C-alpha cells in the first residue's frame, strides 16, 4: 500500500528563541551534545549566502528568504550586512547565525538542537578570514555548483578542512539549472580530493529539471521519494510530498527508475554512508539541492543534526587536552566592527570550547594574564543581536567592545589554558595607504589600528615610511577595497592607495634585515605582532638573494596546508 504524506509550512519544525532547552539533569555535557557548529565553504557564486538564508527559513527564524528571483525583487541576504556585500551580491565578511531546530529524525529519533552556522566570506581574496572561521567549526558543508563542479577556491578550503580533521558534508547546489550528471560529479570528488562520496539522497530528474529527491534506504529500509513543489520565487518553504517507491514510479516513471538504478550502482561500489568513515574524514555524505528554490534544504538540516559531530575538546599549545566538561575556555576567531552603525562598537566572536559561559563572569585573557569581564555578551543573527545569559561548548558568542581581544586569543577560567594561535596567510598584495586630508590624521591612525586588530589586513611599518604612510599587506586586492569603504563610512576618512611593486613576503630577522635593506627590490618592515617581514619584488629576485647571501634568514610565512 502506498504511503503518502504532505509536508507544508504549517507543520515545519518549531523553534524557540534565546537559550538552548534546559531541564532536570542537564549539564555541560548534555548541552554540548545538542550543539552542531559548522561552516559553509564554497567557490564564489556557488550559492552560499542563499543557502544560509534557506537554512534560516527552514528553521523558521525568518518568514521569507532574502534572495529571490528577479532583479527588481532581489533582496540582500540576512547574513550579508555590509553595504559592499549588498551592492555586489557577494560575501566579504564572516557572520554567525544561531537558531534552534527540531530535526525530523531522518537517521535517528527527532532531536532538538542548537545550530551554530558560521558563514564564511565567499570571495577568494578573503581566504584568511575563512581559515579563521573554520577554526570555530566542528563540521563543514562543502557547497558545489552542479554545473561547474569542484573549483579552485573549494579545493583550497577543502585542504584546510582536511588539515584540521574537519568532516565534510557535500551539497550539490543549483540542481534546478542545467549542469553535469550525478555520476560525473561524484567521480570528480573521488578523483580530485580523495574523499569517497556517499550520497544520502539522489536527485529525481536531470539537472535543470529538478522534481525531487530519492532518499536512499538504510538497514534494509526501502527508498523514499520526496517530491517538491515550487513556491513563488523560492521565497517560502517548498512543500514536500513523501511517496513510497511504488507511488514514485507511477508518478515519475523513467526519472525515478534512473535515480533508483544509480543508487543500486553506488551500493554495489561501496558508496553507502558509514558513520565511522565519515568522522574519520574518509568519506563525504552527499546531498542534492536548490537553495534558491528551497529544495533539499530541510534534508541538509536533518543531516547535520543526525550526522555532524557535536563539540569536542581541544589540545592547547602544550598538547594538554581540555574536555568540553572542563572549566570554561573559548577561542576568539573573528573580530568585527561596524556591525552597529549607531554605536560603532567592536565585536569579538568567540567559540566556546569547554565549560559553561555565564554573562558577566570574569575570565582570564591568556595572552596578557589579565582579568576580563564579559558583561556585554550577545548572540548574533546576521546583523541583529540579543543578549545571551549563558552558552555552552559549540556556541558562538559576541563580546562587545572587547578591544584587548584579537583572532587566536584564548579566554578561560580555572586551570590555565592557551590554544594554538591562528596562523596568518602569506600576503601577495601590498600598498601604501594615505589620508587625503592632513586634518584627519588622528581618525586615520585610529582606523588603521582598529582594522589591523580585526585582521582585515596586515599592517606593516618601518622608519623610512613612518606612521603616516603605513603599508597594508593583503591576500587579495579586494581587501584594500574593504579598507577604503570602511575608512569612509565608519571614520569619515577619505584615503588613497599607492600600490607597491612587491609580490612576495618572507620572514627575516634583525641581523639579516641590515643587508636586505641594501638590496634593490627589497624592503623590510615590522608587522604589528613584531615579526620582521622582507617584501620582495618577485621570485627571481628572491632566488638571486638566496644564492648570493645563503646565510640570510628568508623563511616562508605560515599559510594554509597545501
pLDDT digits (tens, 9 = 90+) for 260-288: 999 999 999 999 999 999 999 999 999 99
Please check if 311 is assigned to a binding site. no
Angle at which helices 254-268 and 182-193 cross, to 10°: 30
Question: Looking at the structure, do residues 242 and 286 belong to the same domain, yes or no?
Answer: yes
Q: Is residue 419 part of a domain?
A: no
Question: Looking at the structure, do residues 169 and 287 belong to the same domain, yes or no?
Answer: yes
Question: Looking at the structure, do residues 498 and 372 belong to the same domain, yes or no?
Answer: no
DSSP 290: B
State residue 224's pLDDT score: 95
Residues 530-537 have a mean pLDDT of 94
Helix (H, G, I), strand (E, B) or coil at 425: coil
C-alpha closest to that of 412 among 476, 468, 295, 332: 332
What is the pLDDT confidence band of residue 118, given thresholds at 50, 70 and 90? confident
Helix (H, G, I), strand (E, B) or coil at 482: helix
- CA-to-CA distance for 246 and 251, rounded, in angstroms? 9
Residues 73-96 have a mean pLDDT of 46
User: For residue 241, is pLDDT > 60?
Assistant: yes
Q: Is residue 539 part of a domain?
A: yes
Please check if 119 is assigned to a binding site. yes
State residue 361's pLDDT score: 95
Please check if 123 is assigned to a binding site. yes
Q: Are 33 and 309 in contact (CB under 8 A)?
A: no
Question: Looking at the structure, do residues 10 and 45 belong to the same domain, yes or no?
Answer: yes
Mean pLDDT is lowest, of 129-138, 241-250, 405-414, 538-547, for: 129-138
What is the pLDDT confidence band of residue 546, given thresholds at 50, 70 and 90? very high
C-alpha closest to that of 114 among 42, 38, 53: 38
pLDDT digits (tens, 9 = 90+) for 99-110: 888 877 666 677
Helix (H, G, I), strand (E, B) or coil at 63: coil
pLDDT digits (tens, 9 = 90+) for 210-220: 999 999 987 77
Q: What is the domain range of residue 190? A: 4-91+99-307
| DSSP E strands, 324-446 | 329-337, 346-354, 357-358, 362-365, 370-373, 377-381, 384-387, 390-391, 396-400, 410-412, 429-435
Domain boundary, last residue among 262, 281, 307: 307
Rounded (5°) CA angle 335-477-333? 20
The backbone region for 45, taken as left when phi is positive above 0, alpha when psi lies in -120 to 50, beta otherwise, is left
C-alpha closest to that of 121 among 160, 152, 82, 64: 82
C-alpha closest to that of 312 among 20, 2, 29: 29
Question: Looking at the structure, do residues 23 and 144 belong to the same domain, yes or no?
Answer: yes
Q: Is residue 561 part of a domain?
A: no
State residue 3's pLDDT score: 42
- CA-to-CA distance for 160 and 169, rounded, in angstroms? 15
Domain count for the chain: 3
Percent of the chain with pLDDT over 70: 83
Percent of the chain with pLDDT over 90: 53
Question: Looking at the structure, do residues 514 and 402 belong to the same domain, yes or no?
Answer: no
What is the pLDDT confidence band of residue 199, given thresholds at 50, 70 and 90? very high
pTM of the model: 0.78
Question: Looking at the structure, do residues 452 and 404 belong to the same domain, yes or no?
Answer: no
- CA-to-CA distance for 334 and 353, rounded, in angstroms? 15
Please check if 222 is assigned to a binding site. no
Phi (first) and psi of residue 159, to 5 degrees: -60, -35
Mean pLDDT is lowest, of 90-99, 233-242, 265-274, for: 90-99
CATH of the domain at 288: 3.40.50.300
User: For residue 10, is pLDDT > 50?
Assistant: no
Which of 267 and 438 is assigned the larger pLDDT?
A: 267
- CA-to-CA distance for 272 and 236, rounded, in angstroms? 32
And the C-alpha cell for 403? 578591544
And the C-alpha cell for 444? 586615520
Domain boundary, last residue among 307, 327, 356: 307
Please check if 273 is assigned to a binding site. no
What is the pLDDT confidence band of residue 222, given thresholds at 50, 70 and 90? confident
Domain boundary, last residue among 412, 443, 472: 412
Helices (H), 165-290: 182-193, 245-252, 254-268, 275-279
H-helix or E-strand containing 35? strand 35-42
Residues 299-306 have a mean pLDDT of 94
Helix (H, G, I), strand (E, B) or coil at 511: helix
CATH of the domain at 404: 2.40.30.10
What is the pLDDT confidence band of residue 425, given thresholds at 50, 70 and 90? confident
Place of cell 627575516: 508
Q: Is residue 421 part of a domain?
A: no
Amino acid at each position: 500500500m502506498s504511503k503518502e504524506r504532505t509536508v507544508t509550512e504549517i507543520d515545519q519544525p518549531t523553534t524557540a528563541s534565546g537559550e538552548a532547552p534546559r531541564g532536570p539533569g542537564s549539564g555541560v555535557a548534555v548541552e554540548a551534545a545538542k550543539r552542531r557548529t559548522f561552516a559553509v565553504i564554497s567557490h564564489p557564486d556557488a550559492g552560499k549566502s542563499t543557502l544560509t538564508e534557506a537554512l534560516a527559513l527552514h528553521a523558521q527564524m525568518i518568514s521569507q528568504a532574502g534572495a529571490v528571483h528577479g532583479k527588481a525583487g532581489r533582496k540582500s541576504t540576512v547574513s550579508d550586512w555590509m553595504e559592499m556585500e549588498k551592492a555586489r551580491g557577494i560575501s566579504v565578511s564572516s557572520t554567525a547565525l544561531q537558531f534552534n531546530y527540531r530535526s525530523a529524525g531522518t537517521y535517528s529519533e527527532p532531536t532538538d538542537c542548537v545550530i551554530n552556522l558560521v558563514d564564511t566570506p565567499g570571495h577568494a581574496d578573503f581566504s584568511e578570514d575563512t581559515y579563521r572561521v573554520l577554526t570555530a567549526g566542528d563540521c563543514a558543508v562543502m557547497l558545489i555548483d552542479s554545473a561547474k563542479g569542484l573549483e579552485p577556491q573549494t579545493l583550497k578550503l577543502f585542504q584546510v578542512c582536511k588539515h584540521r580533521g574537519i568532516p565534510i558534508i557535500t551539497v550539490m547546489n543549483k540542481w534546478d539549472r542545467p549542469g553535469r550528471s550525478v555520476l560525473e560529479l561524484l567521480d570528480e570528488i573521488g578523483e580530485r580530493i580523495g574523499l569517497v562520496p556517499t550520497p544520502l539522497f539522489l536527485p529525481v530528474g536531470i539537472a535543470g529539471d529538478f522534481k525531487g529527491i530519492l532518499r536512499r534506504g538504510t538497514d534494509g529500509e526501502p527508498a523514499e521519494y520526496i517530491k517538491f513543489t515550487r513556491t513563488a520565487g523560492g521565497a517560502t518553504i517548498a512543500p514536500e510530498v513523501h511517496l513510497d517507491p511504488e507511488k514514485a514510479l507511477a508518478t515519475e516513471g523513467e526519472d525515478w527508475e534512473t535515480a533508483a538504478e544509480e543508487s543500486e550502482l553506488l551500493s554495489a561500489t561501496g558508496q553507502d554512508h558509514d558513520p565511522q568513515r565519515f568522522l574519520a574524514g574518509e568519506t563525504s555524505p552527499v546531498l542534492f539541492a536548490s537553495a534558491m528554490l528551497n529544495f533539499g534544504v530541510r534534508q541538509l538540516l536533518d543531516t547535520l543534526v543526525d550526522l555532524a559531530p557535536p563539540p569536542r575538546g581541544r589540545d592547547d599549545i602544550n598538547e594538554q587536552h581540555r574536555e568540553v566538561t572542563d572549566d570554561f575556555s573559548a577561542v576568539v576567531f573573528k573580530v568585527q566592527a561596524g556591525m552597529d552603525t549607531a554605536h560603532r562598537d567592536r565585536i569579538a566572536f568567540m567559540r566556546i570550547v569547554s565549560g559553561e559561559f555565564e554573562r558577566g563572569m570574569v575570565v582570564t585573557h591568556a595572552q596578557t594574564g589579565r582579568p576580563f569581564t564579559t558583561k556585554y555578551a550577545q548572540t548574533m543573527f546576521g546583523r541583529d543581536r540579543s543578549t545571551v545569559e549563558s552558552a555552552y561548548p559549540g556556541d558562538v558568542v559576541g563580546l562587545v567592545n572587547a578591544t584587548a581581544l584579537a583572532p587566536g586569543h584564548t579566554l578561560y577560567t580555572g586551570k590555565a589554558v592557551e590554544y594554538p594561535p591562528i596562523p596568518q596567510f602569506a600576503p601577495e598584495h601590498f600598498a601604501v595607504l594615505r589620508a587625503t586630508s592632513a586634518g584627519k590624521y588622528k581618525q586615520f591612525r585610529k582606523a588603521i589600528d582598529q582594522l589591523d586588530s580585526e585582521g582585515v589586513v596586515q599592517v606593516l611599518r618601518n622608519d623610512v615610511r613612518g606612521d603616516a604612510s603605513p603599508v597594508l599587506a593583503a591576500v587579495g586586492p579586494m581587501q584594500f577595497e574593504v579598507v577604503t569603504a570602511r575608512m569612509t563610512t565608519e571614520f569619515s576618512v577619505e584615503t588613497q592607495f599607492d600600490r607597491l611593486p612587491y609580490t612576495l613576503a618572507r620572514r627575516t630577522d634583525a641581523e639579516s634585515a641590515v643587508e636586505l635593506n641594501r638590496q634593490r627590490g627589497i624592503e623590510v618592515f615590522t608587522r604589528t605582532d613584531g615579526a620582521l617581514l622582507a617584501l620582495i619584488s618577485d621570485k627571481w629576485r628572491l632566488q638571486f638573494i638566496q644564492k648570493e647571501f645563503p646565510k640570510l634568514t628568508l623563511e616562508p610565512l605560515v599559510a594554509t596546508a597545501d
